[in-house]
Amino acid sequence: MDHSQDTLVDESSIRYDGWRIVAVCFLVATFGWAFGFYGQSVYVAELHRIHGWPTSLISTATTFFYLFGALLVAFVSEAIRAFGPRNCLLAGVFAMASAAALIGQVTAPWQLYAVNGLLAFGWVGTSLGMITNTLGLWFDKKRGMAISLALNGASFGGIAGVPLMVAAIASFGFSGAMIVAAVTMVVLLVPVVLILVGRPPDRMNIALALVAADAPSASRIRARAVRDAAFLSVSIAFALVLFAQVGFIVHLISFLDPVIGRERAAIAVALMTAMAVVGRVLFSTVIDRLNQRLASAISFVSQAVALTVVINLQNDIALMAACALFGFSVGNLITMPALIVQREFDPRSFGVLVSLITAINQITYAFGPGVIGLLRDASGSYILPFYGCIGLELTAAVLIMVRGRSARP
């Protein structure tokens, strides 16, 4: 083949092969977030119902899941370079499916921690770090749009995953439903990844080789980043917000269940994630022309307003509306850090910095479910921990506007 043709490929063309990778990543994100992110809300509620374990104990296992995953995700870019995107995606799918099947079989707390450790491997191989680094091998100019579109799968995982999981549990029981879900994941995703995910385009391989020739090492990039005010303001702000966001979402069904019932609580989660899709799609059309830090700050404040409504109003309609408002920015807060990194930092550092910021965020928000669970058990309600989340959201809205000096040469 004439490689000169490959260098002239238009990433915006519908015929460009990179868009099939976007479709694959969409499907991977759907299952990854359904089982690894939104699914935690179901696990907390079901394990508490079945075994009577304290909410704080189950939530702490969720914290372990996020924390262990954070230690792994920092090395995603190196794993992809060593084993290739196809093998890494397949490893993530098998780990996630195995953990999903096993979590319905646990009978002791130590088993819950072991399964969450396996689930962490699956989460790393099917979530943000893997998807952004994989798409970075196929996209340059349209990378932001590609990431935004692929991560709509994350929201779809909440829209479809949680209600289907709750319905399946009602029909097959928790154990049977998780086995069915795991088998479905493997049957759907493995053939798609094997058939559609191949080598990145030659032009990307050449570009990566040229960049690698004079790029600093990954360890050096990380060392510089943790001393850069621009990077720290992004990573800390999003870490605080995601601490609040993840903690709230994991406990959402448990909070809403006694107020509006389990089925309506599942609908509220679905509505929240549907609004996440709407928000991400709307933002994807204009985000390259916006001040991304200001857009992030506005999103943080909107979540704080939604949490205030959730705490103070018990009306069904008001609670649904608050979940919708909260969800409008959920998807963008997953996507935005990578877009800010792409805009403001050295493009040679994109993969390493995205993995690093994902790890920092995940280490921080790993404690969200556990801390909220502990505060809930200590105070007897979710009012205290949710007000704490509001404080974190408003603090982050101020911090994200601290730009620092330009990090991009």
Q: Could you report the per-residue pLDDT of 197-240, keeping only the tens digit for each?
A: 888 776 555 445 544 555 667 778 777 877 788 888 888 999 99
Res 1: pLDDT: 38
Bridge partners of 289, per DSSP, are: none
Res 214: pLDDT: 54
Q: Is residue 299 part of a domain?
A: yes
Domain that includes residue 343, residue range: 18-399
Q: Is residue 371 part of a domain?
A: yes
For the chain, the residue count is: 409
Res 204: pLDDT: 53
Distance set, CA 60 to CA 51, 57, 99 (Å): 16, 5, 17
Q: Is residue 6 part of a domain?
A: no
Number of domains making up the chain: 1
Res 407: pLDDT: 46
pTM of the model: 0.74
CA 26 – CA 398 distance, rounded (Å): 32
Q: Is residue 3 part of a domain?
A: no
Q: Is residue 219 part of a domain?
A: yes
Question: Nearest CA to 65 among 102, 114, 129, 128?
Answer: 114
Q: Is residue 54 part of a domain?
A: yes
CATH code for the domain in which residue 335 is found? 1.20.1250.20
Residue with tokens 């088993």: 111
Question: Nearest CA to 250 among 37, 13, 31?
Answer: 37
* pLDDT under 50: residue ranges of the chain: 1-7, 206-207, 210-211, 406-409
Q: Which long-range contacts (CB under 8 A, 24 or more apart) does 306-312 make?
A: 307/244, 307/248, 307/386, 307/389, 307/390, 307/393, 308/390, 310/255, 310/386, 311/382, 311/383, 311/386, 311/387
Q: Is residue 408 part of a domain?
A: no
Res 288: pLDDT: 65
Q: Is residue 351 part of a domain?
A: yes
Distance set, CA 258 to CA 176, 252, 254 (Å): 25, 11, 8
> What torsion, rounded to 10 degrees, do the Cα atoms 314, 317, 319, 320 define?
160
